[in-house]
Chain A
């Protein structure tokens, strides 16, 4: 069972400012989904290795060469608050 407190904690981890109503609904919906997912516990997977990718994938290397990157002005054109070639954000540090 996932509790309302756990939902609050997970919402914080996921950086979601859920409304009270959403927290209530999320708690009940997540419980239903997790209950359905609990079905997997019936399977014995003791000696089964996990699959991250279902086709064999290895590291892919390329020469470490300087290449052209995207034009800065085009990239910053999407920024909500660009300033002198940077992305400006609200205060990060706690106030003293």
Chain B
């Protein structure tokens, strides 16, 4: 099989086919990715930690299995290298969550999704950059360095799973896992031309995922196409007794939905998502893609989600409230950074947190602490929880008239670095269309639907009923096939790469 560049451009399922036919070895594939990281990650900065040795060992083990086990019983991602967002615990490998407060944290255990990845024989190439504690929409809030969008290095890759998205878009990994609380998988997927799925709340175990907002957080795939997303979902979904919020119901083979026709399927178009603030070009391309669904026989239905304009306000009370509680554990006692100059424990806590957290995390802890504090709880947190009920009802009504809801994933294409960093409210707006799904615990997927005139990717979002990821895959796959959009491979200057041991 051809050159390194050709190998790393392939999708995960294409690589899997080559590996199964023994046309390439898992070691060759992993080496190709490590070379690619070395060549371009100095520019892209997708990785916080590259785990070359572990990846090589896993690749050798995969080759052993290809040589000795019957092909039918081999897991689909055996030998296909992936990357993890750095908020998923990896035993013996630093897990920073993009924060200085965890700069030296080495987990004593693996997250469930990491265990599953290892059991499936997929080499893990490393841990990806992210907005600190997953709070942000651009990966500029990383406590270490910002990540670039491979399609334009001056632009952001989105966030908070920006490192995971950039790694896959720059062909530095075949697939990646991200986490999504208010859009942190789907928005970077849209900005980087990838498929990204936020599964239904409870579909994937969060054991070992560093908690941000516990009623919203979910882990999901970032991949080069829809088939890959279904394969990764097959790998990570399912009940886990170590996460009491994971739901005990069997999940289907998600790949079984690929290729099913969508004739007669009802696609809801929410008028509240096609409003002022939605970029004209994005709107046109998304409408054209929705037109392609109609050409395949889908029935377009106008639906209304009347409380959409309240989504941001609701989210920016609930998520900070939960974060202020979850992040109370970073006190310098058991792990992570500790300030060394304090004479007593309370001062030590305060200085540790002051030194360890970045501005956005502090802002959200302050906001959440205020929203939960005596005298303000009813007006802010409780009020937001009541409005959350209205969102649920909006979707319940809409899903009486349609099977999926289609819109743009983001109001604009990827923005320039530095453009919104000093204006939190403007930054929050880039999540306006992705926030409702987690509030209602719904699955939602972003699939590439076009490139802008400037060559930047545009994503179409599909929102579905609880645990109906299957229909999202069905529609996304039909769209992907109908559009025949070829994934572009951005030119990234090589040379000043990252040292890979």
A13 to B428, CA, bound (A): 25
Closest CB in chain A relative to B290 CB, distance in Å? 26
User: How far apart sit A87 and B329, CA to CA, in the bound complex (Å)?
Assistant: 14
User: A18 to B317, Cβ gap below 8 A?
Assistant: no
Q: How many A-B residue pairs have CB under 8 A?
A: 171
B125 within 8 A of A: no
The complex places the Cα of A13 from the Cα of B390 at a distance, in Å, of 31
Interface pairs (26), CB distance under 8 Å:
A11-B366, A15-B350, A17-B347, A17-B351, A32-B425, A39-B313, A40-B310, A40-B313, A40-B317, A41-B379, A41-B383, A43-B310, A45-B387, A48-B387, A48-B390, A54-B201, A54-B388, A54-B441, A57-B202, A62-B241, A77-B106, A78-B334, A80-B333, A80-B335, A80-B338, A91-B343
State A10–B349 Cα separation when bound (angstroms): 15
Which of the residues A15, A30, A49, A51 comes within 8 Å of B367, measured between beta carbons? A30
Task: State A18–B359 Cα separation when bound (angstroms).
Answer: 10
Q: Which residues of A contact B390 (CB under 8 A)?
A: 43, 45, 48
Add 13 more A-B contacts to A16-B366, A48-B387 (CB < 8 A). A16-B350, A17-B351, A32-B425, A39-B310, A39-B313, A48-B386, A51-B392, A52-B215, A54-B388, A55-B201, A78-B108, A81-B338, A90-B342
Docked complex: A1-20 residues within 8 A CB-CB of B = 2, 6-7, 10-11, 13-19
- Contacting A at CB under 8 A, from B51-95, are none
B279-302 vs A: 1/0 string, CB under 8 Å? Answer: 000000000000000000000000
Report the minimum CB–CB distance from A32 to chain B (whole Å): 6
CB proximity to B under 8 Å, residues A51-77: 51-55, 57, 60, 62, 70-71, 74-75, 77
A49-B386, A50-B385, A51-B389 known; A16 and B108 CB under 8 Å? no
**Bound-complex Cα distance A41 to B314 (A):** 11
Query: Given A7-B366, A55-B200, A55-B202, are A49 and B389 also a contact pair (CB < 8 Å)?
Result: yes
Q: How far is the CA of A49 from the CA of B350 in the complex (A)?
A: 36
Query: When A and B form their complex, which 6 residue pairs have the shortest distance between CB atoms, in order from nearest?
Result: A54-B441, A50-B385, A78-B335, A80-B338, A45-B386, A17-B350
Q: Is B405 an interface residue (CB 8 A)?
A: no
Q: Are B202 and A33 in contact (CB under 8 A)?
A: no
Q: Using Cβ atoms and an 8 Å threshold, which residues of chain B touch A70?
A: 108-109
Q: Say yes or no: A92-B345 contact (C-beta < 8 A), given A17-B353, A17-B354.
A: yes
What bracket does the count of chain B residues touching chain A fall in?
35 or more
**Smallest CB separation, A89 vs chain B (Å):** 5
Would B312 and A36 count as touching, CB distance under 8 A?
yes
A86 to chain B, nearest CB (A): 10
| Main DSSP-derived SS at the A contact region | loop
Contact between chains at A90 and B383 (CB < 8 Å): no
CA distance A13 to B328 in the complex (A): 10
What bracket does the count of chain A residues touching chain B fall in?
35 or more
Shortest CB distance A37–B (Å): 5
Please name the residue on chain A nearest to B215 by beta carbon: A53
CB nearest to B246 among chain A residues: A60
Query: When the two chains form their complex, are residues B345 and A91 in contact, meaning their CB atoms are under 8 A apart?
Result: yes
User: Is B370 a contact of A30 with CB atoms below 8 Å?
Assistant: yes
Cβ of B119 within 8 Å of any chain A Cβ, yes or no, is no
- Which chain B positions have C-beta within 8 A of A54? 201, 215, 388, 391-392, 439-442
Q: Which residues of A contact B424 (CB under 8 A)?
A: 29, 32-33
Inter-chain contact A77/B312, CB cutoff 8 Å: no
- Given known pairs A55-B200, A90-B345, the reply for A33 and B316 (CB within 8 Å) is yes
Task: Assess whether B149 is interfacial by the CB under 8 Å rule.
Answer: no
| Interchain CB contact under 8 A, A87 and B385 | no
A80 is contacted by which of B332, B359, B389 (Cβ under 8 Å)?
A: B332
Do B466 and A55 touch (CB < 8 A)? yes
Closest Cβ of chain A to B343, distance in Å, is 6
Among A15, A37, A75, contact of B353 (Cβ-Cβ < 8 Å) = A15
Q: Is the CB of B245 within 8 A of A15?
A: no
| Residues of chain B from 105 to 119 with CB closer than 8 A to chain A in the complex | 105-106, 108-109
B425 touches A36 (CB 8 A): yes
A94 CB to closest chain B CB (Å) equals 8
Contact among B244, B344, B353 with A91 in the assembled complex (CB-CB below 8 Å): B344
Please name all residues of chain B whose beta carbon is closer than 8 Å to the beta carbon of A16 when the two chains form the complex: 350, 353-354, 357, 362, 365-366
In the complex, which residues of chain B have a beta carbon less than 8 angstroms from the beta carbon of A34? 367, 370, 380
A10 touching B389 by the CB < 8 A rule?
Answer: no
Check B348 for interface membership: any CB of A closer than 8 A.
Answer: yes
Chain B neighbourhood of A74, CB < 8 A: 108
Interface residues of B in 359-401 (CB under 8 A from A): 359, 362-363, 365-367, 369-370, 373, 379-380, 382-392
Contact between B441 and A52, CB atoms less than 8 A apart: no
Which residues of chain B are near A83, meaning CB under 8 Å? none
C-alpha gap A15/B332 in the complex (Å): 12
